[in-house]
Amino acid sequence: MLNISNNKLNKTVDLSKYKSVQKVFHKTHFKHFNRFLQAFAILIVIIMFLPWTQNINSRGSVTTLTPDQRPQTIQSVIPGRIEKWFVREGDFVKQGDTILFISEVKNEYFDPNLVNRTGKQIKAKEASVVSYESKIKALNSQITALNRERVLKLEQAQNTLLQSKLKVKSDSIDLEAVKTNLEIAKRQIGATEKLYKEGLKSLTQLEEKQSKFQESQSKLISQENKFLASKNNVINAMVEINRVQAEYTDKISKAKSDKFTAESNGFDAEAQVTKLESDYTSYEMRNNMYYIKAPQNGYINKAIKGGIGETFKEGERLVGIMPSNYDLAVETFINPIDLPLIHLNEKVRVQFDGWPAVIFSGWPNVSYGTYGAKVVAIENFISDNGKFRILLAPDETDHQWPEAIRVGSGAKTIALLEDVPIWFEIWRKLNGFPPNYYQPKTAKTTNSNYK
């Protein structure tokens, strides 16, 4: 019956006498089910207003807090050939323990006495440097002696020049005196001839005057020769001064040239000594590099280059080592849309692979089997997998992480954000919205790769 009419059939007709009506209308289980549905709806409404912690789930792996604590490989800075192994895989080694011994493969280092021979070359070159220094000192003494001798020679030549000039002056005075005597003799001859003609002077007296005149003429010529010789001596003295100056300048220049040559050779010898000392140190260090040693305490993971006689190039990986002392951390990756929501020192829950856990991501207080962590580094450059790398360290205020965890194990992380009602979280999920963007009071910014 559709009950379309306003006349209710069940009020005018008695239906209770029918068996079907008796079986249906006298049962009460639908009333209990309706009450259950009502109570469940009320419970759902109450649950919708319960607090829910927004979170960001991601996968990661266990690593170490600092780079020097992570698994690493040991390389050789020189090429070589493996001669002997001193460890086996799984052995524990201390810092400085010898792992393997290698031999040389370059022919210029084959000589076993290369270091000793280089030391002898250094001593020989050092002796050469000392010899050049002695030669330089001798040349300096020679130059000093030449300078002193030049001063004395110049003084001697200048004295000779002064004497010559004085001799010229003396000869010039004598020449003037001779000229005066010649004029006197000439006048006396004239006077005597006049008196002779007058008969006042005898012929003998006239001849004496003529003889004196000729003698004066002879003295004049002789004195003129002496005067010219004195002038020539002055010129010779000046030439001697120039000759002494040029001679000693040449000698001193030659001595200085020899000195500069000795200094140049000495500097070259010193440079060779320095180069040989550098080679000597390099050879010593190279000899020490034949023994590959452990850089820190740890366990030998894998021998990458095995066997005896196998050669390798410089920088090739020889053996892997895992440090024995390390601080655990978790490396995880988040989507770019969630990066603004992560800040330093924020709390994160971590579930390690192999450790069972009961997780309620929105109710961290009731989760079981997870461990506390905090954000210590946020990479600002996207990784190759299209996500941003986050580094997590153990939370000192939470439970200690399991000791059996090893580096490289998998981990699941849950970053805790704001507390919101459950209905808001369901509405956000249905609409595909990101968690609420917010800035905590303790957030700090930085311009480096990590913040």
Query: Rounded to the nearest 10 degrees, how much is the dihedral formed by the CA atoms of 126, 128, 130, 135?
Result: -170
Check residues 28 and 136 and name the one with the higher pLDDT.
Answer: 136
CB atoms within 10 A of CB 227: 21
Check residues 42 and 190 and name the one with the higher pLDDT.
Answer: 42
DSSP, collapsed to helix, strand or coil, labels residue 87 as: coil
The answer to whether residues 56 and 341 touch, using CB atoms and an 8 Å cutoff, is yes
Mean pLDDT of the chain: 81
Q: Is the pLDDT of residue 362 over 70?
A: no
The Cα–Cα gap between 119 and 443 comes to: 62
- Quote the radius of gyration of the chain (alpha carbons, Å): 60
In CATH terms, the superfamily for domain 53-69+326-431 is Efflux pump adaptor protein, beta barrel domain (2.40.30.170)
pLDDT tens, residue by residue, 8-23 = 666 666 666 777 766 6
Query: Rounded to the nearest 10 degrees, how much is the dihedral formed by the CA atoms of 108, 111, 113, 115?
Result: 20
Confidence of residue 28 (pLDDT cuts 50, 70, 90): low
> Is domain 72-104+290-323 in CATH 3.40.630.30, yes or no?
no
Q: Is the pLDDT of residue 356 over 80?
A: no
Average pLDDT on 212-233 reads 78
CA distance from start to end of the chain: 74
Q: Report the half-sphere exposure of 214 (CA within 13 A, side-chain side).
A: 6
pLDDT tens, residue by residue, 116-145 = 988 999 999 889 889 989 999 998 999 999
Q: Is the pLDDT of residue 445 over 60?
A: no
Q: Is the pLDDT of residue 258 over 70?
A: yes
The answer to whether residues 388 and 58 touch, using CB atoms and an 8 Å cutoff, is no
Q: What pLDDT score was predicted for residue 391?
A: 92
pLDDT above 90 coverage of the chain, percent: 14
Q: What pLDDT score was predicted for residue 450?
A: 37
pLDDT tens, residue by residue, 262-316 = 999 989 999 999 999 998 998 888 888 899 999 999 999 888 887 788 888 988 8
CATH topology (fold) of 114-288: Helix Hairpins (1.10.287)
pLDDT above 70 coverage of the chain, percent: 84
Average pLDDT on 143-166 reads 86
The Cα–Cα gap between 169 and 177 comes to: 13
Query: Rounded to the nearest 10 degrees, how much is the dihedral formed by the CA atoms of 157, 225, 215, 171?
Result: -40
Q: What pLDDT score was predicted for residue 330?
A: 92
Domain locations along the chain: 53-69+326-431, 72-104+290-323, 114-288
Both structure tokens of 244: 């002494």
